[in-house]
Amino acid sequence: MLTTESCHYRAVVMGVSFGGLNALKTIIPQLPGDFPVPIMVVQHHDRHADDFLAEFLNNQSALHVKVAEEKEKVTAGSVYLAPANYHLLVEDDATLSLSLDEKVNYARPAVDVLFESAADVYGAKLIGIILTGANNDGSKGLLCIKESGGLSIVQDPATAEAPNMPEAAIAITTVDHIVPLDGVAPLLVSLFH
């Protein structure tokens, strides 16, 4: 059984772009249903994208995967995906908020927006993960997580469909763990044993 008793982390944030479907379907289904903290994900996609990704992952996973909703309280055992064309943020009361603010790094949703807001809320109790992607979104957000005392994990660029996002994150901050794609879920599970 996984527990937060032996681990002080309280939330996980993930950022992914090009190659995201393969990355998320490799990680999320490997996580057990008793995963003890919420996971929030920004996947870059078209502004008219539907809920396919959430539905697909939910059908493959022991966790509850859904599109995030305004003012929704985050709970353990759930994965929240940023909806198309909205930034996803975490509020001080551990609820989610959606924003139509300007694009960041040419993207909305943007990884940096989620990571920076989550770092403000969770501080050292946050795990940030950068996965495959073709731009540098998330690197500043991961640096913010590190500066707040949180844990940083980056997919090994050699295992990424697009190495730009992992490489940008590695270039800007001292990363705690650089792991191949299939090592991300086992690492997360090990952190809560």
Q: Are strands 39-43 and 78-81 parallel, antiparallel or unpaired?
A: parallel
| For residue 109, cis peptide bond before it (omega within 30 degrees of 0) | yes
SS3 144: helix
Q: How far apart are CA 32 and CA 116, in angstroms?
A: 27
Q: Identify each DSSP E strand in the chain by its residue range.
A: 11-16, 39-43, 64-67, 78-81, 87-90, 96-99, 126-130, 151-155, 177-179
Neighbours of 71 (CB within 10 A): 10
Q: Write down the H helix ranges in 6-158.
A: 20-27, 52-60, 111-122, 139-147
SS3 191: helix
So which residues are the catalytic ones? 17, 44, 137
